[in-house]
Amino acid sequence: MDFKLTKEQELIQRAAREFAEKNIMPVADQIEREGKIPDEILKGMAELELFGIAYPEEYGGTGAGYLSYVLACEQIARANGSVSGLYSVHYLGTSSIATFGSPEQKAKYLPKAGSGEWISSFAFTEPATGSDPKQISTIAVKDGDDYVINGVKRFISAAYLPGPIVIFAKDSETGHPTAFLVDKFCPGYSVSETWKKIGIHGSKVVDVYLKDVRVPSSAVLGPKGQGYPVLLAGISYGKVGMCAGSLGGMQAALEESIKYAKEKAHRDSTIAKFPTIQVAIAKIAEKVEACRWLTYRLAWLADNTKDIMAFAKQAAMTKAFVAECGVDVARLAVGVHGSYGLMDDYKVSHIYRDAIISEQTEGVADMQRLITGGALLR
Ligand SMILES: Cc1cc2nc3c(=O)[nH]c(=O)nc-3n(C[C@H](O)[C@H](O)[C@H](O)COP(=O)(O)OP(=O)(O)OC[C@H]3O[C@@H](n4cnc5c(N)ncnc54)[C@H](O)[C@@H]3O)c2cc1C
């Protein structure tokens, strides 16, 4: 077992860290206040070729793999949760195309998604459910050689940015969920106002309205009536990015807590002398370390495992654990800061608000445990 990163992975990690420190950290507060990621940041990430990092070179990627993606995403999340959030949902959609796309679909979407010109979205959740494929009500009715899609998708990330969107709808022929690849802003596609949420304000969610959206049969992604495997695989790859995002937030919480403990005066020294503070910081460090290696391992599995079901189980376990640790770490970090940790001016307050989002999205934590428990008890 080799825990050492390759030279290429070290380079990617360093480049992402330097970019994030120089270009994202200084505007992190602004991003959260204004609810917008400056275009220059996305442009800079594109120049670093981060949007296609995990995909084969033949489709415009760099072929560096998921571990490289995780290393970059972690560094970006250390600077700001909104940017890593957007980066991660882009991979949720793009991974589905890379895994299930026909050669034509890959050729059409991956080069522009890989260059960052397009940001991909993935739309499963609906007003009635975010967890149960049987309950989705978006429908795709076969009409000649086309499908006509109608429905509403809820809380969809990046749906307001140009690019492909993977839409899950029940198709009229099989009655089962099928995945469709749709161009955002095609006729019949529109989005709601931005939802006002607790954190990652720069990575916005909107509802998507699909009114008689007409797509050719060639827009079906994966086998017809087999949307569930596409959903499971897409969301499992998506969890790799979610874990990297949580990890970056945790690392930032650790650094902020150490800095604060060493600076905050108490009588003739600082609060760093207190055993309670030392224990809190040690607990944060333990969780960061455990989550880092679990996340890197999940990325390694994404690069090396062909068995999607086995990967999905590992992704579910890792995501549930890492997301929960993210919340624990954020709470401990706020504790180290006392009431200052609750103030908007302090980064740990943002980390706290962002952390809880990872617990509830791309599979609620307890639902992940149902996947794991079910697989173990089969
Ligand atoms: C910032 C953000 C970004 C998002 N981005 C996207 C996106 O890009 N694409 C997308 O499709 N969605 C997205 N979502 C939606 C998100 O993934 C869903 O909201 C989430 O999966 C949970 O679905 P739900 O809210 O409908 O909860 P529900 O499925 O209604 O679950 C509610 C509660 O009931 C429990 N529960 C549900 N079913 C069962 C069951 N069978 N057994 C036991 N317990 C159960 C759950 O564990 C949970 O505690 C996003 C949400 C946010 C906040």
Mean pLDDT over residues 259-280, rounded?
A: 97
**Which ligand 1 atom sits nearest the alpha carbon of residue 159?**
8
Q: For ligand 1, atom 38, name the residue with the nearest CA.
A: 131
What number is the average pLDDT over the span 176-199?
97
Does the beta carbon of 364 lie inside 6 Å of ligand 1? yes
pLDDT in tens, 356-367: 999 999 888 888
Q: What is the rounded distance in angstroms from the CA atom of residue 346 to the CA atom of residue 31?
A: 14
Q: Rounded mean pLDDT of 279-301?
A: 98
Written as one string, the DSSP assignment of 126-168 is BTTBSS-GGG---EEEEETTEEEEEEEEEEEETTTSSSEEEEE
Whether 371 lines ligand 1, by a CB cut-off of 6 Å, is no
Tokens of 207: 């509802």
Give the chain's domains with CATH numbers.
7-115 (1.10.540.10), 121-221 (2.40.110.10), 227-377 (1.20.140.10)
**CA distances (Å), origin 367, targets 14, 88, 129:** 35, 20, 13
pLDDT for the residue numbered 362:
86
Mutate-to-test residue for ligand 1 from 165, 361, 370, highest number of ligand atoms within 8 A of CB:
361
Q: How far is the CA of 92 from the centre of ligand 1 (A)?
A: 15
Helix (H, G, I), strand (E, B) or coil at 203: coil
Annotated catalytic residues are 362
Q: List the one residue out of 237, 121, 220, 234 whose CA is nearest residue 171.
A: 220
- List the one residue out of 85, 106, 96 whose CA is nearest residue 229: 96
56-79 confidence digits (pLDDT tens): 888 888 999 999 999 999 999 999
Q: How confident is the model at residue 186 (pLDDT cuts 50, 70, 90)?
A: very high
Cα–Cα dist 50/344, whole Å: 30
Q: What angle do CA 201, 95, 63 make, to 5 degrees?
A: 110
Q: Residue 204's pLDDT is what?
A: 97
The average pLDDT across 211-236 equals: 95
Could you tell me the distance, in angstroms and rounded to a whole number, from the CA of residue 22 to the centre of ligand 1?
35
Rounded to 10 degrees, what is the CA torsion of 318, 322, 323, 326? 180
Burial string for 272-306 (b: 16+ CB within 10 Å, else e) reads beeeebeebbeebbebbeebbebbbebbebbbeee
Phi (first) and psi of residue 216, to 5 degrees:
-70, 165
Residue 341 CA to ligand 1 center (angstroms) comes to 28
Which atom of ligand 1 lies nearest, measured to the CA of 93?
Answer: 8
**Which one, of 277, 286, 149, lies nearest residue 220 by Cα?**
149
Q: What is the pLDDT of residues 19-63, one digit of tens each?
A: 999 999 999 999 999 999 999 999 999 999 999 999 888 888 899
pLDDT score of 250: 98
According to DSSP, the β-strands at 164-171 and 189-191 are unpaired
Measured CA to CA, the distance from residue 40 to residue 290 in angstroms comes to: 34
Residue nearest to atom 27 of ligand 1 (CA): 130
pLDDT at 376: 86
